[in-house]
A and B are shown apart, each in its own frame.
Chain A
Amino acid sequence: MSLINYASREINCKLVYYGPGLGGKTTNLEYIYEKVAPTAKGKLISLATETERTLFFDFLPVDLGTIRGFKTRFHLYTVPGQVYYNASRKLILKGVDGVVFVADSQVERMEANLEAMQNLYDNMVQHGYDLTRLPFVIQYNKRDLPNAAPIRELQESLNPGWPIEDPAKHRPVPDPDRPGEFLVYEQDGVWIERVPSFEGVAVQGVGVFDTLRTISKRVLKALG
């Protein structure tokens, strides 16, 4: 879906931060905006309510510069997490190249996380996109809070993985970000693929760039 424009020699990729309300999506973009080199970033646009809840989206363009003759740019969007803004959320997903799901680690937000994940799947299907084939990463945010659920539990609920049909892909792939763990593995005779996941404290910037680096590389890889 990325727009490779041969006439103007530009590549534009759309990354969407998705997840439950108050999970920290906007905070991720704000941190990126604050830290990325001034020459690489555009304006951060936030369409928010008076109470700083995202109403339609946040938008931040980040320029990678010209690579092998192509001006390469990422368009970062967040969606509004609040349940009743689904119409807007769905609009933002149009033309998406990669998804970051920002989960709220707090135990009491588990239900909201699951609901948002289900909503993501549903909206992708309605656009005719297959989330299992699109670059996708998860960030478990708010790891600084005392009521944060253990990663293992979050992984089991939000990142259970899906079975891989293609036998050519039936071989273990270690998770580069989690030593000793695997992104592709065999369990009871079935090959499972999970998406990369990161622990975040977005207010302090922890995990924000790890997440962004991984999703942007995956998106570019999917171009080729």
Chain B
Amino acid sequence: MLDQLLRDTGARTALMVERSGQMLATVGEVPRFDHVAFASLTAADFSANDQLARMLGENEFGALFHQGERESLYLADVARRVILVVLFDTSTTLGLVKLRVRGAVTDLTALFEELFARQDPSPQVEAGFLGDAEDEIDRLFGA
């Protein structure tokens, strides 16, 4: 679905970021930046703008656009849980990106809603995970 979006728009990279700041997926050209940091900033950016929208009496902005001289970002909400980020340059236009993202968001929303509905609400990790994790914490953070 995201590959299709990139082909349709000529954008370079599409990323899916969870609202709490975790990267879920990257498609297309592998970005050169630190993607953990990128995801955290994207989520913060989106949530700050959410609040701004509410101050205006809007429910949300739904999408954000950051324009650079060469590279630009288009961010769109998916199911209020995930943010779709499209990275594009001057080889395409905002209008085209916007149009295609709108379509992709509809499909992704359906997909994620189904996914969230199916997800076990209290997933369990394997027995023994905790013991191993505690050992690792002691090793890394000094016992």
Known: A94-B19, A216-B141. A223 touches B40 (CB 8 A): no
Stretch in A55-63, A152-160, A167-175 touching the partner: A55-63
Q: By the criterion CB–CB under 8 Å, are B130 and A213 in contact?
A: no
Which chain A residues border B126 with CB–CB below 8 Å? 68-69
Is B96 interfacial (CB 8 A cutoff)? no
Is A40 interfacial (CB 8 A cutoff)? yes
Q: State which size class the interface on B falls in.
A: 20 to 34
Stretch in B86-94, B98-106, B131-139 touching the partner: B131-139
Known: A4-B123, A37-B140, A91-B51. A61 touches B36 (CB 8 A): yes
Q: By the criterion CB–CB under 8 Å, are B51 and A42 in contact?
A: no
Q: Apart from A14-B20, A213-B138, what 11 extra A-B contacts exist at CB < 8 Å?
A: A10-B22, A45-B41, A57-B44, A59-B37, A61-B37, A64-B133, A68-B132, A95-B21, A216-B141, A224-B124, A224-B125
Q: By the criterion CB–CB under 8 Å, are B125 and A223 in contact?
A: yes
Q: By the criterion CB–CB under 8 Å, are A209 and B34 in contact?
A: no
Q: By the criterion CB–CB under 8 Å, are A4 and B36 in contact?
A: no
In the bound complex, CA of A223 to CA of B124 (Å) = 7
In the bound complex, CA of A154 to CA of B70 (Å) = 54
Q: By the criterion CB–CB under 8 Å, are A94 and B47 in contact?
A: yes
Is B48 interfacial (CB 8 A cutoff)? yes
In the bound complex, CA of A25 to CA of B140 (Å) = 20
Q: By the criterion CB–CB under 8 Å, are A40 and B140 in contact?
A: yes
In the bound complex, CA of A5 to CA of B5 (Å) = 24
B81: shortest Cβ distance to chain A, in Å? Answer: 11
In the bound complex, CA of A181 to CA of B41 (Å) = 41
